[in-house]
Chains A and B, each alone.
Chain A
Amino acid sequence: MKQSARPTIPQGRELLTLIFAIGLVLFMGIMTYAHWVEFRRANEQQDITRRIVRATNIVLSTLKDAETGQRGFLVTGEESYLEPYSEALSRIPKELTELTAVTASVSDQAQRVEAIKRLVQAKLDELLQTIELRRSNGSSAALSAVMRGQGKATMEQIRKICAEMESVADDRFARQSAEMLIRDNEIDLISTIGAVALLALLILATATIQRGTHRRQQLIRKLQKSGEESRQAREFYETTLGSIGDAVIATDANANTKITFLNEVAESLTGWTEEEAVGMPLDQVFVISNETTGALVDSPVVKALREGRIVGLANDTKLTAKNGSETPIDDSAAPIRDSAGEVTGVVLVFRDISERKKAEDELKQAEQRFRTAVSAVSDIVWTNNAKGEMEGEQPGWGGFTGQSLQEYQGYGWAQAVHPDDAQPTIDEWHRALAERRRFVFEHRVRRHDGVWRDCSICALPLIDSSGVIQEWVGVHTDITDKKEADRIFKESLERFHFMAESMPQKIFTANSRGEVVYFNQQWTEFTGLPFQRIKDWNWTQFIHPDDVQENVSIWQHSIDSGELYQFIHRFKRKDGMYRWHLTRAHAMRDEGGQITMWIGSSTEIHEERETQEKLARANQDLESFAYSASHDLQEPLRMITSYSQMLVKGYKDNLDGEAEMFVGFITDGTRRMRALLADLLSYTAVDARATDDTETIDLNLIFEEVCKNSKVSINETGAAVSSDPLPIIRGNRTHFVQLFQNLISNAIKYRSKSPPSIHVSAEQQNGSWRFAVTDNGIGIALAHHEKIFGVFKRLHSSSIPGTGIGLAICQRVVERYKGRIWVESELDQGATFVFTLPIGTEGRKVSA
């Protein structure tokens, strides 16, 4: 902050303006007051004048009242006329006094008032005289006295003086009014000029104040900004020091180095808070000693102060915190210099190195463990000196071969190597030594029990930083068992391939990544492509283009999940024709459950598939034929019915009994044929593709509906029909009405002598719904259990009516929903028709 940067406010001009404004206001006040006094005086004068005129008029009017009373009495002689007179008489003295008082301050008028007083007395005397005269001498005497005109003259005089007074007063009033007008105008003028002057001053003052305020605000902003900057800078350093991971302590440069700053990490390491620590001598807070000897160590601060340079701390230093806990630390101190280069303090940075110490210890331990482990593994670890000779104790080698140190040292180990392998091993060993490279070899070693074991060897030179070989470290691994396993695997693979080659199917194997590693010969024969061109993922080239994408994604899914792979696809034969194949592949897993390979086979199913498709087409054709046939047959049948009826109707009288009977047979035959056709229609309709099989059906409602449909026969036969709570399923409503209708109708129709008792049950069994319709009817002999489900198969003559298609419809419905239907019955034992529906076509079971 520089003092000179603060702009001063020019106070002289503002003060001048202020003084001038105050002077102006004072001047205006004095002027206005003076004028106001004048004005009030004039106003008072005017008031007196007005009161004189009024008092004069009152006196005059009262006199007139007295005169009026006198006249009335003189003429009539009646006392009552004197009332105004006597009243006026009583008022006169008070009014005269008032007049006197009012005029007191006006000298010329006072003289006139004295004259008036005298004249009023004279007038009153005259009036009294005439009244007395009337009383005593009658009216004529009194009147004549009046006639003499003395009273009238007196009155005239009074009036004249009064008029004079009024005229004088009027003049004065006019004069005073004019004077007041002048004063008034003067006040106006002074106010106007003053106001204009004040306004001008005000504007000037506002402008000045505005400028002043603006400057002041600028100043304040500048002050704030510079304050903010320095605060930010301080905060920045404090935050930085506070947030760094190392502990920081700053001290001054005095002899006992007092602490000036302590960051959070330092707080937690020393156990001192910044509040406590600041101002304390450093060696009380920062207590360090040698980790091993425990002797106190001088803090590097002293050295840094003395030498004026950055000082690091010796290793193995520990810090003792306030609470006595010890932490290994690593620290350094640096002097703080001001701009003049003078040392003003020291900053001490240190960190907790217990983690690092721990890691170092662990490394040491690991090395130890490694050395222990080496001696424990089944692999034989040995070391040779830089020259490649076995030297010193080799417990691994000795233990495996049974050789003693004397036997194996130098090149003695070669005695334990199979004679056929010994020389080649030594030759290769020499080459590796000469080329300073890795030695890799396999040979047979005689184990301590005399058995030859296959071993693989790997040895490496240990080279120090100067590039000199220190020693060789080698490992012998007994691979005899592995070799045996490999041989067995190879054999079994060969056997598998041999078997695969001899099979008519196309066989392949793939690795766990899904790459085909083996195709048997049938593939190359079929596709005309060599193995090399179709291996890995190249088999996709002979898959039909329409199948490839799905094929790859399904194969990939199996590879990822390990699930059975199964797909029907077309392969391109070498003649270019595509043939349908069914391919399946299983994953083979090792003991750990990891997939080791896939084994798959493809079977040509082209013929079967074509036959199947043909069959499906034929079935479809047959169904549509049956549908349209039964539909179209209705027409001519209707003709026969209608016209045979017409014949009976029109020729009733002309037909003999025999003819009528024939017509009866015709109509009966047509009726039965109609029923047959209707059933056949509904039978073929069950398989119609267009019907919606996904409606939600409450079978309880279906059951109710069927009972309602069969109401007549139920009532006629006295049947008891009941049901368990039935589930809600998905399907086509009509189908299930047909199913239940046929089964329940049959149960009523094929009843025994006792009234029918029918029950529908439903239960879940092995992932299916199992429904049963049980009756107590005539039952069905075992021999017929299959037959009854055939189209137009009937067991009974026309004594029990029926078309023989109801159960065929039932079977068709159940099979459409992937279920099964059968009958459990014996003759005369009642029957139970059972059908199943796989769960998945059903919803939830409705509780009772």
Chain B
Amino acid sequence: MITASRIFRILMVEDNPADVYLLRQALKHAGVNYESKVIDDGAEALEFVRNQTPTENEKFDLAILDLNLPAHNGIEVLAGVRQNGAFSDMPVVVLTSSAAPLERSQAEQLRVARFITKPPDLDDFLSIGYVLKDVLLDSEPRSVSV
């Protein structure tokens, strides 16, 4: 499969650098080739998803979204993603330490690919890489994956 060698573009909205690091480790662990943009602030993230119109090459294959963000929360950012036509197809994985049922149902209404609660155990966290890989491959257009 040529997908293995493809370089994915991933948008990470995460304010905790320690989690960003763990996330990179997880993706590496799963063998995902990627380049990423990290936004560590809710307001900035909202600004980005509202106003950006990426070209075909600049499009992101996946967004990983934390819900507890400074300034604006992740649900607002997610709503912004769904409102912008340029991002509306982008799969979003919510990765959060909050497991409040309300947030979960709000997120699911905004079509998230996965809703993951950050696990405290390191190995559990690293296995998230495989989950993200599945999401990337699932959303891959057929013509490329063959």
Contacts and interface: CB of A to CB of B under 8 A. Distances in A.
Contacts of A643: 18
Interface residues of B, number: 12
B97 A641 contact: no
Interface stretch (A180-188, A631-639, A710-718): A631-639
Q: Which of A634, A637, A638 has the most CB of B within 10 A?
A: A638
Contact of A641 (B25, B98, B122): B122
B122 A638 contact: no
A168 B25 CA distance: 141
A674 B124 CA distance: 16
Contact of A639 (B18, B98, B121): B18
Interface in B101-146: 118, 120-123, 125
Nearest to A644: B122
A649 interface: yes
Contacts of A674: 120
Q: Which of A637, A641, A642, A643 has the most CB of B within 10 A?
A: A642
Contact of A634 (B18, B97, B125): B97
Contact of A649 (B98, B118, B120, B122): B122
A332 interface: no
Given A642-B22, A643-B18, A637 B122 contact: no
A646 B122 contact: yes
A681 to B, nearest CB: 10
A645 interface: yes
A641 B18 contact: no
A634 B97 CA distance: 8
Interface in A670-686: 670, 674
Contacts of B120: 634, 637-638, 641-642, 670, 674
Residues of A contacting B: mostly? helix
A642 B16 CA distance: 13
Q: Which of B97, B121, B122, B125 has the most CB of A within 10 A?
A: B122
A641 B123 CA distance: 11
A354 B25 CA distance: 118
A635 B19 CA distance: 11
B145 to A, nearest CB: 33
Contacts of B118: 638
Contacts of B121: 641-642, 645
Contacts of A646: 22, 25, 122
B122 A642 contact: yes
Contacts of A637: 120
A641 B122 CA distance: 7
A638 to B, nearest CB: 4
Nearest to B68: A635
A631 B27 CA distance: 27
Contacts of B125: 642
Interface string A638-662: 1101110110010000000000000
A645 B125 CA distance: 11
A691 to B, nearest CB: 12
Interface of B: 16, 18, 22, 25, 97-98, 118, 120-123, 125
Interface of A: 631, 634-635, 637-639, 641-643, 645-646, 649, 670, 674
21 contacts: A635-B97, A638-B97, A638-B118, A638-B120, A639-B16, A639-B18, A641-B120, A641-B121, A641-B122, A642-B18, A642-B22, A642-B120, A642-B122, A642-B125, A643-B18, A645-B121, A646-B22, A646-B122, A649-B122, A670-B120, A674-B120
Given A638-B118, A645-B122, A646-B22, 7 more contacts: A631-B98, A641-B120, A642-B22, A642-B121, A643-B18, A645-B121, A646-B25
Q: Which 4 A-B pairs have the closest CB atoms?
A: A645-B122, A638-B120, A641-B120, A642-B122
